[in-house]
């Protein structure tokens, strides 16, 4: 297990290093500098600004500086907002994004599990078909389309919930729903097929033959085994929520990281783009790492084979 963890850790660090390097050099290729929006500066002033961002150094020096700062958690200064550090900008906006992401994943997982259980129990009935249909729709409809329809009908037409902004719990309901649709659908599909497989296995038949009551079989025997592998879904789901948050935060005008990222893309604020990219990558890679290790701890078969599931 230690060997496996170390191997995964090594890959994690290597991946992050490569991402940071690629990001740095891609950004160097981009046309544009902090001067782009300030053409009327004298050469001296331009020099001062370039010095401030360290853009006068040769590229290898910039690279080393950048990497050194990165390790210390310093992502540099924003090109568009004077003297604001990217680390600080991300820090200020992490709250709403984290709250939304957390709500979406918790709500989505719970609803998904329930939906999956219901459709497995009522296998091949109308209820099962309805739940399966919801799941397929949830996977197919892009989150921003769902958000748009939600915003139009619930917010504008029926005026049940505030259309946008970020002022309290009721403002989080629609964005959370929009973000969690995919989670619900994925978890429900997974839960259904997993439960169907388990419910037809020998040890369930044995339990039934022994006269264990149906709810007890479900809770003590079937659910326990079906719930564990859901951990492996967390990686892809976290990525999906991150991706979704970019558009959802923009649609609902939520002051989160995603909204800032989209804005930095549209205003060519390269340091912010770079910083957020790295932030997302770290988050993603760390989530995958934790999921892999957790799964190894829970499921001994992984430890022996030394690889991820499937």
Partner 1 sequence: MSQMDPKLFEIQGSRTAETEQMGRPSLSFWHDAWLRLRSNKGAIFGLVLIAIIMLMAIIGPSMSNYTYKEQNIKHAKLPPKIAALEDIHWLPFDGRDKDGFDVYKSKEVDQYYWFGTDDLGRDLWTRAWYGTRISIFIGVMAALIDLLIGIAYGGISGYYGGRIDNVMQRIIEILVGIPQLIVVILFILVFEQGIFSIIMAMVITGWVSMARIVRGQFLKLKNQEYVLASRTLGASGGRLIWKHLMPNVIGPIIVTTMFTIPSAIFTEAFLSFIGLGIAPPEASLGSLVNDGFKSMQMYPHMLIIPSVIISLLILSFNLLADGLRDALDPQMKK
Binding residues for partner 1, rule: CB under 8 A, are 11-12, 14-15, 18-19, 22-23, 26, 29-30, 136-137, 139-142, 144-145, 148-149, 151-152, 156, 190, 193, 239, 242-243, 246-247, 250-251, 262, 265-266, 273, 277, 280-281, 284-285, 288
Residue 136 vs 298, nearer CB to partner 1: 136
Angle at 184 (CA atoms; ends 180, 190), nearest 5 degrees: 145
Q: What is the DSSP string of 184-206?
A: HHHHHHHHHHHHHHHHTSHHHHH
Least distance between partner 1 and beta carbon 184 (Å): 16
Separation between Cα atoms, residue 245 and residue 161, nearest integer Å: 19
Residue 30 vs 214, nearer CB to partner 1: 30
Residue 158, helix vs strand vs coil: coil
Least distance between partner 1 and beta carbon 215 (Å): 26
Residue 33 vs 46, nearer CB to partner 1: 33
Least distance between partner 1 and beta carbon 34 (Å): 16
Residue 70 vs 246, nearer CB to partner 1: 246
Cα separation values, 309 from 6, 8, 15, 112, 114, Å: 18, 14, 20, 21, 24
Query: Are 262 and 246 contacting, i.e. CB atoms less than 8 angstroms apart?
Result: yes
Residue 146 vs 166, nearer CB to partner 1: 146
Least distance between partner 1 and beta carbon 123 (Å): 15
Residue 280 vs 295, nearer CB to partner 1: 280
Separation between Cα atoms, residue 105 and residue 159, nearest integer Å: 26
Least distance between partner 1 and beta carbon 190 (Å): 8
Least distance between partner 1 and beta carbon 226 (Å): 13
Residue 101 vs 214, nearer CB to partner 1: 101
Half-sphere exposure of 118 (CA within 13 A, CB side): 16
Query: Are 89 and 81 contacting, i.e. CB atoms less than 8 angstroms apart?
Result: yes
Separation between Cα atoms, residue 138 and residue 111, nearest integer Å: 12
Query: Are 144 and 251 contacting, i.e. CB atoms less than 8 angstroms apart?
Result: yes
Least distance between partner 1 and beta carbon 307 (Å): 10
């Amino acid at each position: 297990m230690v060997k496996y963890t170390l191997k995964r850790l090594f890959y994690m660090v290597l991946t992050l290093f490569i991402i940071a390097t690629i990001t740095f050099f891609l950004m160097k290729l981009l046309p544009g500098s902090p001067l782009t929006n300030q053409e009327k500066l004298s050469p001296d002033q331009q020099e001062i600004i370039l010095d401030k961002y360290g853009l006068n150094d040769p590229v290898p020096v910039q690279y080393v500086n950048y990497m050194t700062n990165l390790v210390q958690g310093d992502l540099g200064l924003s090109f568009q907002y004077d003297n604001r550090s990217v680390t600080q900008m991300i820090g200020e906006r992490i709250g709403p994004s984290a709250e939304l992401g957390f709500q979406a994943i918790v709500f989505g997982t719970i609803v998904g599990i329930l939906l999956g259980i219901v459709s497995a129990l009522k296998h091949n009935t109308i209820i099962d078909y309805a739940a399966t249909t919801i799941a397929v729709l949830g996977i197919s409809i892009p989150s921003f389309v769902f958000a748009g329809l939600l915003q139009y009908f619930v917010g504008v037409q029926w005026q049940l919930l505030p259309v946008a902004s970020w002022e309290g719990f009721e403002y989080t309901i629609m964005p959370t729903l929009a973000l969690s649709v995919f989670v619900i659908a994925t978890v429900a599909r997974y839960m259904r097929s997993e439960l169907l497989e388990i419910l037809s296995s020998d040890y369930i038949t044995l339990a039934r033959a022994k006269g264990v009551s149906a709810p007890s079989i479900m809770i003590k025997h079937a659910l326990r085994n079906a719930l564990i592998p859901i951990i492996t879904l967390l990686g892809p789901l976290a990525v999906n929520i991150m991706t979704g948050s970019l558009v959802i935060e923009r649609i609902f005008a939520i002051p989160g990281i995603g909204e800032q990222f989209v804005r930095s893309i549209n205003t060519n604020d390269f340091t912010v783009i770079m910083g957020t990219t790295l932030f997302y990558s770290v988050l993603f890679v760390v989530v995958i790492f934790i999921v892999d290790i957790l799964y190894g701890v829970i499921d001994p078969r992984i430890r022996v084979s030394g690889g991820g599931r499937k």
